[in-house]
Chains A and B, each alone.
Chain A
Amino acid sequence: MCGILGVQLLNGERVDRTLLNTMIGQLHHRGPDATGFYIDGPVGFAHARLSIIDLSGGHQPMHNEDQTVWITFNGEIFNYIELRNDLIQKGHRFRTQSDTEVIIHLYEEKGEDCVQYLNGQWAFAIWDKKRDKLFMSRDRLGVRPLFYSLTAGMLLFGSEIKALLAYPGLTREIDLQALDQLFTFWVTLPPRTIFKGISELPPGHSLVSERGQVTIRSYWNIDYNSSNDSMSEQEAAATLLELLTDATKIRLRSDVPVGAYLSGGLDSTVITALIKKVSVSRLKTFSISFEDKEFDESGFQQEASSFLQTDHHAVRCSTQDIGRVFPDVIWHTEKPILRTAPAPLFLLSKLVREQGYKVVLTGEGSDEMLGGYDIFKEAKIRKFWGAFPESKIRPLLLKRLYPYLENIQAQSPAYLKAFFHVRREDQLSPFFSHLPRWELTSKLKMFFSEDVKSELKGSDVYNDLRERLPSNYSKWDGFSQAQFLETMYLLPGYILSSQGDRMAMAHSVEGRFPFLDHRVVEFAARIPPALKMKVLNEKYILKQAVGNLVPESIKKRPKQPYRAPDVKSFIGGDPNVVRHEYVEELLSANRIQKDGIFNPGAVQNLLEKARKGRTIGIKDNMAFVGTLSTQLVVDQFINRTIKGRHDGTAT
């Protein structure tokens, strides 16, 4: 796990090493163990290393036998041992024990198709000297980040945007179309990022720069077409357990100790149980507990930990903590966020690092692949209700779905109907499952300034998304469509990045995700939806698959989405909440006016409502966090005014 960076000057000039040094300096947190450079005329690579496999031999950038193929690589190839053996049989000679070298030889053998053979999480760039070709790739699900910028005569790439922005003279501007997308879908639609001129290589894509031409192509897709209705429950459960066990086993390959996150939910408990099953060493587990009972799951964490006999450590998170670390969190997410949920994960990775750990396995991906999220259940109920819209009983299922949401409990069927979009036209939408979430989020755009609103007039974010859907999308069942939307967009754009890679790597910690092994993902896509969610029992097949490996109480507990306190982390009626100066400053009428993205009057009204402790709804909370985080992005990356936050090019 590391940070990678590169420059290709298309005019043929030599890349300046000092410049590479400045840029890679921005990624020090991703790779504090070593830094390396490689320059071949107009192509320059840099690498910040976090040593995990082959601690002494795995330095990068790395080359092949005759130094004609060079790589800078971030990530892990979990099947590197098997690939290495195959390659040795084919006559390749290895100098190291690293997974990095495996990619080099596999590239020599298979060319750009090498990625088809990799089981792992990666972002890498290869310079093929003989062919004068730069080849870049990002893993199938987007676990590892890779950004690039194509500006006049130059291709820049790197693990994080801040490294690219350290290139002198690169435009620093918010992309308003991206903001429009983010304030609908919670993410920007790749390749768009929140910064104009900076793109994200979409998950499952490769980029080739050759003879002045840059081509981007997809090498992997998720397909729900082959969902096999005749697959029996026993077969599905057995195969799933077998694949998950192997996915976990190969993710324990490491030359440093590996720990696990244990949230108290089903998924991380399953992963922890599988680790215990395949490994004999004492396992350290880590979790977040909240002072606020509404969010706290420590009871379940303790239960899982004592059942699985792990050495458990928890970090206690208060509202003050979230407010305090939030500017750092946004420095790492490099994009606005609408909930504070990444902040506790930032604190958690700090704890992991302080305990001397660099690698953790977690349960990410299970909800997307096996149908765990409430949004799937909600869509199922809405569809059931939509078939008989006049029913007075069917909408009551929505109340059962959200037992922890008081505001839903209080509603009459007539209101539920209005909020949950079950009209005929809603049912015909390709985005039926996501309409309540996206429509609600879109309301936050009322806070945009008049200039931004007028700039975005006529823009249609739903169309942006429609254009990206695969041609067979309309043939899939609704459940699979909802899974696709979560897997392709929210997973890489938020869960794996803002809550995942960026929070873990902020403290040099690598996450590994057995549920995102592509064999598990591809198999899960073939499992009939009725086995993923049996009636309204989420992740039914996973519960069947793991049997008594996890405690019954964890399998039977009501699912609680991972959440953290939002507005009350910053402001509100509680006199004990420490006032954060930056909040007042960035949301002041002057600053809002000057930065130009939001409407100063609207933000003042929102602040006022928050101060009175009246921002109790999801929408107000998202508006507050979204506005504040956008202001922090502007402040840290565009204006560059926050003290101590500089990238060597600060004005």
Chain B
Amino acid sequence: MEQQHERQLRQYVIDNFLFGQGGSDLKNEDSFTERGIVDSTGVLELVAFLEETFQVKVEDEDLIPANLDSINNLLLYLKKKQSLKKSNEFIRFEELPESA
């Protein structure tokens, strides 16, 4: 599952933000903001993509680089989001450790 998510996320970032260019240089830990891959609109595009593709609801308080700023961060975020959905447990995300 995680591998499939990784492929989907990577493909989306390459197609939508890099317009097909430089995909092979993109590492999972690369920061989207530091590399200038997303701008302020890009964050919102990314949110729309996550919600459409993975059927998750991205809350306003989740809009932080720790959740969304690299493929790795996204994978972790999705994992938590989906396990949350399963256990139907309520956790506020800013209470999670910084590594999240």
Contacts and interface: CB of A to CB of B under 8 A. Distances in A.
Pair from one complex:
yes
Nearest to B15: A605
A302 to B, nearest CB: 32
Interface stretch (B2-10, B36-44, B77-85): B36-44
Given A414-B65, A418-B65, A605-B15, A618 B39 contact: yes
B60 interface: yes
A440 B15 CA distance: 19
Interface stretch (A334-342, A473-481, A609-617): A609-617
A407 interface: yes
Contacts of A408: 40
Interface residues on B, range: 20 to 34
B33 A601 contact: no
A378 B57 CA distance: 32
A199 B60 CA distance: 51
Interface string A402-431: 000111101110110011000000000000
Contact of A411 (B19, B43, B45): B43
A407 B33 contact: no
A604 B16 CA distance: 12
Contact of B19 (A405, A407, A606): A606
A446 B65 CA distance: 23
A577 B42 CA distance: 25
Nearest to A411: B40
B66 interface: yes
B56 interface: no
A439 interface: yes
A602 B19 contact: yes
A443 interface: yes
B70 to A, nearest CB: 12
A70 interface: no
Given A407-B40, A599-B21, A609-B16, A415 B60 contact: no
Contacts, number: 76
Contacts of A261: none
A605 B20 contact: yes
B81 to A, nearest CB: 17
B21 A411 contact: no
A407 B39 CA distance: 9
A447 B16 CA distance: 13
A277 interface: no
B1 interface: no
Interface string B38-78: 01111111000000000000001101111001000000000
B43 A415 contact: yes
B15 A415 contact: no
A396 to B, nearest CB: 14
B100 interface: no
B65 A407 contact: no
Given A415-B65, A601-B20, A601-B21, 18 more contacts: A407-B41, A407-B44, A410-B43, A411-B40, A411-B43, A414-B64, A414-B66, A415-B43, A418-B65, A439-B36, A440-B36, A446-B21, A599-B19, A601-B19, A603-B19, A605-B15, A614-B45, A619-B41
Interface of B: 15-16, 18-22, 33-34, 36, 39-45, 60-61, 63-66, 69
22 contacts: A406-B44, A407-B41, A407-B44, A408-B40, A410-B44, A415-B33, A415-B40, A415-B65, A418-B65, A419-B33, A419-B40, A442-B36, A443-B39, A446-B18, A446-B19, A446-B22, A602-B20, A602-B21, A617-B39, A617-B41, A619-B42, A620-B41
Interface of A: 405-408, 410-412, 414-415, 418-419, 439-440, 442-443, 446-447, 599, 601-606, 609, 614, 616-620
